[in-house]
Chains A and B, each alone.
Chain A
Amino acid sequence: MTASDGRPASDLAALLDMRDVAVRHVLEDGETVEVSPRATPDGVSLRVDVGEVVLLLGPSGSGKSTLALAANGLVPHVVPARMDGTVQVGGRDTRTHEVPTLSSAVATVFQDPDAQVVTGSVLDEVCFGPENLLLPVAEIERRAELALRQVGLWERRAEAPERLSGGGRQRLAIACALALGSPLLVLDEPTANLDPAGKEEVYDVVREIAASGRHGVLLVEHDLDAAADLVDRVVVLDGSGRQVVSGPLRTVLSEHIDELVALGVWLPVATLAAVRLGLRDRQGNLPVTPDELATLLSSRSAAGRLPEPRVDAARSVAPGATVIDVDGLTVRARRRTIVDDVSFRVTAGELLAVVGANGAGKTTLLKAVAGVTRPPRRTVRIAGLDPARADVADLASRVGYVFQNPEHQFVTGSVRAELRHGLTVRGIAPDESEVRVEEMLERFGLTDLAARHPFLLSGGQKRRLSVGTAMICRPEVLVLDEPTYGQDRERAAELLGLLDALHSEGTTVVLVTHDMQVVADHATRVIALADGRIEADGPPGLVLSDQPLMRRCHLRAPHLARATSHLPAPWNTVTRLADVPLSSPTAPQTVEISA
């Protein structure tokens, strides 16, 4: 007998055994009951054994999170949904066991570190689970110490969880999962809002856990580059939630790369680069990590068989008129200096990326520059206005701002009204605004959802709508706070393509992101912030390759740069996927989409 994911089934009870799992969400609100016609996921079978890390891969909305919730019984017990198929955790059927009683077999770490904090101190937090399991105090404290030492937080046990960095809080969540003593860990995008250093911290811990041989891990992750080296097997879902392929990560990537590219899931940058080059190792496998790509590239380069990289001259920006002029801007809140004496100028047509650690002050800086919060007088000029004094309507029609959390800026009850709102406020004629709204709905694929309440959209759709509301007023400057966060590769690429297009039409774009590959691929200039001060300001190629600087700012080099930095010139300066030449005629054209 073989399990349906292609591995021989062992007689031992698996940590997790899912068979033909299909989930339909139920929407009921007292008036109506509506069962989603589409199952997401739809017929997934997978198995996690001790010592394994299984990665769940699929485009946004394919049901990865739903499957993660099914693994601990929240689906169908708590989340209203109909589930077909069976899920067994440590040999127990989730359907016949309550969620809390399953938690000694499975522990979950969710995406949002804030939403997992229940108590007031790090230690209390770790003890919360074992206390619920009614263990004796001595045992609880033993487990808590063990778990906290494992994630490196024992020294900080007396602090409030809020005082930890994002990465620290996510490690705390992992410690909480470990303290429950459950052999299976389910991690649903555990590093989604973390800076590169925080991400690394979390994966260092996961790597150790996987190596300990006492746990199995089911992982949902967009950033494959961070996780690729510790994943044993991968299960891939397509857009409608059906399982398309599963097996060892390397094999799946190498044998099904065209399918995966077409699905629009995130793939390791190293793999994408190798595909563009038509590069495979002797066994015909594609590289998965930057190191593997580096080895492959340097062996080719030594053999003199590496084509010249593309050099893109069009990206250097001709100096234009100054659009943003920040001069000695300081922002203080609650007796803390958050932005500290920052000065910079942005000229028309630049695409500026602001990067830095969690809490470095990126959001605060951008808000003050765009006039979302009022900066001190005469410290900022943007699109010819001083946001400290300008009329809000004037400012808003020239500067578009997209918030980190899209829900914050929705003010009406439907997608259409949301798009129309900005035009109405600006007194644009109804028929003109009708045309613009339709155009925008079309452009963002929201036409079918025009009557939907904005809060009822998926995360990706919300993000697109919030960008649309800012764009529809045709601002001179567009400021975006983490625009690609939570999107799958296809959506992110679409959005970035849109920004590129706006940028080439002359709109000045400023964005915050934690994704250094996005910076390398799209920005014409980077500002790195650390503790509210500008640490570096320059073209991406220069800033991103400065290793000590990047470490200081809790950043890491883009994945591609890590693979190319040891190569001879001119390859050592290649950081953009677009600079990697499409040398092989067999390379799929879809890979033209940059990561």
Chain B
Amino acid sequence: MKSVTTRYLMTCAAIGAAAGVLLIPVNFLAFAFTATAPMLVAVIVGFWLVGPVTALALVRRPGAALLTSGVSGVISMASPAGPSAIVTTLMVGAALELGFLITFYKVWKPWIFYATATAFQLYYLYTAFTFYEMETTSTWTQVLFCTLMMVSAWAAVWAGLRLAARLADTGVARGLAPRRTAATADTARADV
């Protein structure tokens, strides 16, 4: 805990706050869709991924996704979802962390983001199938539902990665992301 700087915490908090603000109307939408047209819920699931993907891709440190999504959960509690918002966002954050935990946070290739998001969506699909009794619906409904959900997630990952890249250009993450390899750090030191 000591090794984590306040700057890192607050950077994630800022991204989380923005994501949380975005999630408040999305939560309202989710409530409305669940009640009327569940197919549309599949379209908006991606919104939960954008914040943690951006944070993780920007600061490239363990815990960034979890922290960001936790904060966005706290912020988006100001919606009908209430405290359950935190549970949802933490679940998403934790899932994203898992993909990088497997590689010991050494590899930051985009495909890991996509793969992790896909795996999480499969799990989410399973719960949605139980909740909506999807096995009783027609095949084309099921296919459409699955497709929408996957496309939504992939679009969210794409948007998050792009946003992170553009943010990195503005220099806001300087000094936050750890050096990619020890070699670059050593050459830099040799220059001094």
A residues at B contact (CB < 8 Å) = 24, 26-35, 78-80, 82, 413, 453, 455-456
Contact = CB atoms under 8 A, between A and B. Distances in A.
Interface string B32-74: 0000000000000000000000000000100000000000000
A33 B176 CA distance: 12
A455 B174 contact: no
Contact of B168 (A30, A33, A34): A30
Contacts of B178: 30
A73 B169 CA distance: 28
Contacts of B168: 29-30
B174 A27 contact: yes
B1 interface: no
Contacts of A26: 175, 188
Contacts of A30: 60, 168, 173, 177-180
16 contacts: A24-B192, A29-B171, A29-B177, A30-B60, A33-B179, A33-B185, A33-B188, A34-B188, A35-B188, A35-B192, A78-B6, A80-B174, A453-B169, A453-B170, A453-B171, A455-B170
A307 B174 CA distance: 57
B175 A28 contact: yes
A147 B56 CA distance: 41
A478 B124 CA distance: 55
B7 interface: yes
A26 B189 CA distance: 10
Chain A to chain B: the 8 pairs with minimum beta-carbon distance, closest first: A80-B175, A30-B177, A33-B188, A455-B170, A456-B171, A29-B174, A453-B169, A35-B192
Contact of B191 (A27, A31, A35, A453): A35
A82 B173 CA distance: 18
A558 to B, nearest CB: 38
B169 to A, nearest CB: 5
Contacts of B170: 453, 455-456
Contacts of A413: 166, 169
Interface in B137-192: 166, 168-175, 177-180, 184-185, 187-188, 191-192
B130 interface: no
A31 B192 contact: no
A30 B185 CA distance: 10
B103 interface: no
A91 B158 CA distance: 52
B136 interface: no
Contacts of B166: 413
A78 B10 CA distance: 13
A263 to B, nearest CB: 28
A509 to B, nearest CB: 30
A458 to B, nearest CB: 12
A80 B174 CA distance: 8
Given A33-B185, A453-B171, A456-B170, A28 B191 contact: no
B179 to A, nearest CB: 6
A80 B188 CA distance: 13
A79 to B, nearest CB: 7
Given A30-B60, A33-B179, A33-B184, A82 B192 contact: yes
A30 B64 CA distance: 15
Nearest to A100: B6
Contacts of A456: 170-171
Contacts of B60: 30
A34 to B, nearest CB: 7
A584 B22 CA distance: 65
Nearest to B108: A30
Contact of A78 (B5, B174, B180, B188): B5
B133 to A, nearest CB: 45
A32 B192 contact: no
A79 B176 CA distance: 10
A82 B174 CA distance: 15
A31 B166 CA distance: 14
Contacts of B174: 27-29, 80
Nearest to B60: A30
Given A35-B188, A35-B191, A35-B192, A455 B171 contact: yes
Q: Which residue among A26, A29, A35, A80 has the maximum number of chain B CB atoms within 10 Å of its CB?
A: A29
A550 B166 CA distance: 46
A33 B169 CA distance: 14
B112 to A, nearest CB: 15
B18 to A, nearest CB: 16
A448 B86 CA distance: 48
Contacts of B185: 33
Contact of A27 (B172, B175, B187): B175
B12 to A, nearest CB: 15
